[in-house]
């Protein structure tokens, strides 16, 4: 059994700087020390280029990013001398599982620069054990790749070796990467040793698929679930690295790299390496957002969005022509349908008010917002279901291109069909019978963007009709069965300005999270135009209709109480109450 990382990059193992380990993979640092990387060069001592993912591997727990809970737990365990005999690190690729295992090995075997230290969460990095572990040459820290050593015989070597004390370290440590690749028999053979290992032995396991590890093994380990790194943290980390490398990079470009990394520091550093190389080809060396979009293929979203627009327009021939054009450029049918699904997802998130995707440019965001205003939630959900069904069919089809054509045509002809609620209204309005729609290219499926959005627009020869005033608007909402919106506007909306299609307001109380989107959609359906809705908290506003009614009721009650007859009645009956009709009914119901 050998250390698979010792000679990973060449036939010889040249001496390495302990502060710059050769076997660096892609985990990030919160603060990159000067000793961990050359500021403006990624060249190794032998002149070979070292990728960022290896160059900026953390050497202490303080350099890990995004795993604070795990570091705190380990630190407390070391301080209290409550160290488990087996640890299991799990998480997605590139978040630091193997790096954490090596750092634990350092922490447990560090002896300090004076040679008198004990286990610590902050290994010195200068003593002989720290340097040897960093360089992958410590005789008592054995790394095993379970993907290559899966059988009982490989595990038997460990079982035989654990009986012997460590040669020079405090603990003999076995790091088994991708431990889920061990066979069932190998796991069973390891169980007894894993449950009661000698005091000088520690097991450190790493896996991306913890569900494949037997529960009998999991129950014998202290488990740490390493989290995906957030986009914000990755962006900050990549900015530090770009500064160390002497590379100029736009913040938006680094954000795009962080989003493409999907929480993996290693993936992100690999993409950043590629982006730097891409920028160098343009001459000035600056990593720009547009270059990153082009490099990652984000510009291809424009073709997907063009196809989506043709679907909304209901032009069947143009849809098929565009799909064939993308196929000739190398876009697989399954990827094309997947892109359309992603587009519907972006539109739906935009419609509920979620923040815009930073990977999109400003023009694209505006187009998405425009589509989101035009398409109703039922239409978006129907598009999603139709495309999702098409995705499943294309994935298992013998002829994917033909299956994608049929799926796209089904979207063109099926997305504009009325939902059950709309169909019920049509049946009710027609007395239970629906007339046959006229045929022809323009109306074959009602496949216009207007029909798909299910939002009737007024005739172009007529001006839109708006309610005369704000109370009339509230009444119109009630007549259109927008009962919840009618109640909200009546109770908590204070009017600042009513100039249709503009409405400026304040809110005197809480509203539904989807209130603004629901109101905008309702007003669009009623008038056929998009309304400008704005909340101004610092402007003078009229009281809400409910507040007006309450003020009038209080004034009336006060006038009644000032009446000489009422005053005389209360003088004769001090315990009497003045109740309105609603309060009387409530008391009757309570005593019934």
150-159, 265-274, 287-296: which is most confident: 265-274
How many domains does the chain divide into? Answer: 4
Residue 423: the pLDDT is 56
The answer to the question of residue 217 being in a domain is yes
What confidence tens digit (pLDDT) does each residue in 75-98 have?
Answer: 888 888 888 899 999 988 888 888
The answer to whether residues 208 and 249 belong to one domain is: no
If asked whether residues 403 and 536 sit together in one domain, one would say no
Looking at the structure, tell me whether residues 474 and 557 fall in a common domain: yes
Q: Are 504 and 476 in contact (CB under 8 A)?
A: no
Q: What is the CATH number of the domain that holds 201?
A: 3.40.50.300
> If you average pLDDT over every residue of the chain, what do you get?
78
* Coil, strand or helix at 134: helix
Q: Write the CATH number for 239.
A: 1.10.8.60
Same domain, 244 and 173: no
Q: How far apart, in Å, are the Cα atoms of 328 and each of 24, 323, 408, 477?
A: 41, 9, 17, 50
For 74-119, the DSSP string reads: HHHHHHTT---SEEEEE-STTSSHHHHHHHHHHHHH---TTS----
Q: What is the mean pLDDT of residues 312-318?
A: 86
Q: Do 245 and 199 reside in the same domain of the chain?
A: no
Task: Indicate if 285 and 397 belong to the same structural domain.
Answer: no
pLDDT of residue 391: 92
Query: Residue 515 pLDDT more than 90?
Result: no
Are residues 191 and 270 both part of a single domain? Answer: no
Last residue within a domain, chosen from 206, 225, 244: 225
Per-residue pLDDT averaged across 155-163, rounded? 87
Q: What pLDDT shows up at residue 93?
A: 87
Is 568 a domain residue? yes
Range of the domain at 469: 464-592
- Rounded Cα distance between 228 and 18, Å, is 28
Does residue 49 form part of some domain? no
Residue 155: pLDDT over 70: yes
User: By CB neighbour count within 10 A (0-12 exposed, 13-18 middle, 19+ buried), where does 329 fall?
Assistant: exposed
User: Does residue 270 sit in the same domain as residue 323?
Assistant: no
Give yes or no: residues 486 and 536 share one domain: yes
Q: What average pLDDT does this structure show over 16-28?
A: 39
Q: Taking residues 353-381, what's their average pLDDT?
A: 75
Residues 132 and 93 in one domain: yes
**Confidence label for 388 from pLDDT (cuts 50, 70 and 90):** very high
Give the closest residue to 71 by CA, choosing from 17, 33, 27: 27
Q: What is the CATH number of the domain that holds 327?
A: 1.20.272.10
Does 368 lie in the same domain as 322? yes
The predicted pLDDT at position 356 comes to 64
Question: What is the pLDDT at residue 405?
Answer: 92
Residues 305 and 220 in one domain: no
430 occurs within a structural domain: no
Q: Per residue in 231-288, pLDDT tens?
A: 889 999 999 998 888 888 888 889 888 888 888 899 989 999 888 887 766 567 788 8
């Amino acid at each position: 059994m050998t250390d698979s990382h010792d000679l990973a990059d060449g036939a010889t193992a040249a001496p390495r700087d302990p502060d710059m380990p050769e076997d660096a993979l892609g985990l990030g640092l919160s603060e990159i020390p000067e000793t961990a990387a050359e500021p403006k060069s990624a060249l190794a001592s032998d002149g070979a280029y070292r990728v960022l993912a290896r160059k900026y591997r953390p050497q202490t727990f303080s350099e890990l990013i995004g795993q604070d809970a795990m570091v705190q737990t380990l630190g407390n365990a070391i301080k209290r001398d409550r160290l488990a005999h087996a640890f299991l690190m799990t998480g997605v690729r590139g978040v630091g599982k193997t790096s954490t295992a090596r750092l634990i090995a350092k922490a447990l075997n560090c002896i300090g620069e004076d040679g008198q230290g004990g286990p610590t969460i902050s290994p010195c990095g200068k003593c002989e054990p720290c340097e040897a572990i960093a360089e992958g040459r410590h005789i008592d820290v054995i790394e095993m790749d379970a993907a290559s050593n899966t059988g009982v015989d490989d595990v038997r070597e460990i079982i035989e070796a654990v009986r012997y004390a460590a040669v020079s370290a405090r603990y003999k440590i076995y790091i088994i990467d991708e431990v889920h690749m061990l066979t069932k028999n190998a796991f069973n053979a390891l169980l007894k040793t894993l449950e009661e290992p000698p005091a000088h032995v520690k097991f450190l396991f790493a896996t991306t698929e913890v569900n494949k590890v037997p529960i009998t093994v999991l129950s014998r380990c202290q488990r740490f679930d390493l989290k995906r790194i957030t986009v914000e943290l990755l962006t900050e980390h990549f900015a530090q690295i770009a500064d160390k490398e002497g590379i100029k990079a736009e913040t938006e470009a680094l954000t795009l790299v962080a989003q493409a990394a999907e929480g993996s520091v290693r993936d992100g550093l690999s993409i950043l390496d590629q982006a730097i190389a891409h920028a160098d080809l343009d001459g000035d060396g600056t990593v720009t957002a547009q270059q990153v979009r082009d490099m990652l293929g984000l510009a291809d979203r424009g073709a997907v969005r063009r196809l989506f627009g043709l679907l909304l327009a209901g032009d069947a021939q143009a849809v098929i022509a565009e799909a064939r054009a993308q196929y000739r450029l190398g876009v697989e049918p399954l990827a094309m349908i997947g892109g359309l699904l992603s587009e519907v997802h972006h539109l739906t998130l935009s419609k509920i008010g979620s923040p815009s995707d930073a990977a999109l440019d400003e023009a694209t965001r505006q187009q998405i917002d425009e589509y989101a205003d035009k398409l109703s939630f039922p239409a978006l959900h129907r598009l999603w279901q139709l495309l999702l069904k098409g995705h499943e069919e294309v994935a298992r089809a013998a002829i994917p291109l033909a299956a994608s054509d049929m799926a796209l045509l089904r979207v063109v002809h099926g997305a504009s069909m009325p939902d059950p609620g709309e169909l019920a209204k049509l049946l009710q309005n027609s007395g239970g019978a629906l007339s046959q729609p006229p045929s022809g290219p323009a109306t074959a499926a009602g496949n216009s963007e207007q029909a798909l959005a299910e939002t009737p627009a007024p005739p172009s020869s007529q001006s839109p009709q708006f309610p005369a005033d704000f109370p009339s608007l509230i009444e119109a909402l009630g007549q259109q069965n927008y009962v919840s919106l009618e109640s909200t506007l009546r109770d908590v909306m204070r009017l600042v300005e009513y100039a249709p299609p503009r409405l400026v307001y304040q809110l005197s109380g809480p509203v539904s999270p989807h209130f603004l989107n629901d109101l905008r959609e309702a007003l669009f359906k009623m008038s056929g135009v998009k309304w400008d809705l704005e909340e101004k908290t610092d402007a003078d506003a009229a009281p809400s209709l409910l507040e007006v009614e309450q003020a009038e009721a209080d004034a009336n009650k006060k006038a009644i109480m000032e009446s000489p007859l009422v005053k005389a009645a209360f003088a004769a009956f001090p315990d009497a109450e003045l109740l309105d009709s609603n309060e009387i009914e409530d008391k009757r119901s309570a005593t019934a």
